[in-house]
Structure 1
């Protein structure tokens, strides 16, 4: 009796397994026979990877002044009061607090050399520029405190 019950259970498992395999075989050709338009959009086209954002390059004053001679624009992001005490010759003053409102004043076709007193505000403005599509952004390391005093 135990053998009969055991055989019946095994037969039931075999029968169920065979039916599932047959169902998969029948379903597979139908899946692959679907026209491309009927397939989900995710299978039709893979989105292109996002283009990497521009990088902020750190430069020292020697390199910044060399770049300025070649046409780069020096931008002092300190307050007007700080600039009144001294700044790099030829620099433009666009304070950090006004940078987003004055984006049009940052030329996109030139290298931008951003500096402040020590480097924190210039990095903040550099990030704002990169987030707004600027690609030629350079942070002057050490800020005006590191400016050569010759």
Structure 2
């Protein structure tokens, strides 16, 4: 099982197609700024909470490193159609896009 890397400019397409956005950074990082609509599920808590990540989710972190680790882990468990946001929230901001702040909606 594998996952697919997606670029920040492709994220809106996946979001419109119904993909869940999962930010795997720690809560203190998440509240400082995250991709709008992303839910926080820290990589450090992922083991034991794998069922909270639906198939087709886009995993996000600051740069794409932790989210690729999460995607590989979940894909190894059989999760399908996962995506990793290349460049993470930094890449999102480099595209000129805003971040949301605060806790989960």
| TM-score normalized by the length of structure 1 | 0.60
Secondary structure of residue in 2 paired with 1:125: helix
Aligned pairs, number: 95
- Correspondence list, 1:1-150, <5 A: 54-108=1-55, 111-147=56-92, 148-150=95-97
Distance in structure 2 (CA, Å) of the matches to 1:106 and 1:55: 15
- Return the offset for 1:99: 0.8
Cα distance in 2, alignment partners of residues 136 and 118 from structure 1: 20
Where in structure 1 are there 5+ consecutive unaligned residues?
1-53
Scaled by the length of structure 2, the TM-score of the pair is 0.84
Q: Name the CA distance, whole Å, in 2 between partners of 1:122 and 1:133.
A: 16
- Long gaps (5+) in structure 2: 98-105
Higher RCO (C-alpha 8 Å, min separation 6) = 2
Aligned structure 1 segments of 4 or more residues deviating by more than 4 angstroms: none
Shift of 1:105: 0.6
* Maintained 8 Å contact 1:61/1:146: yes
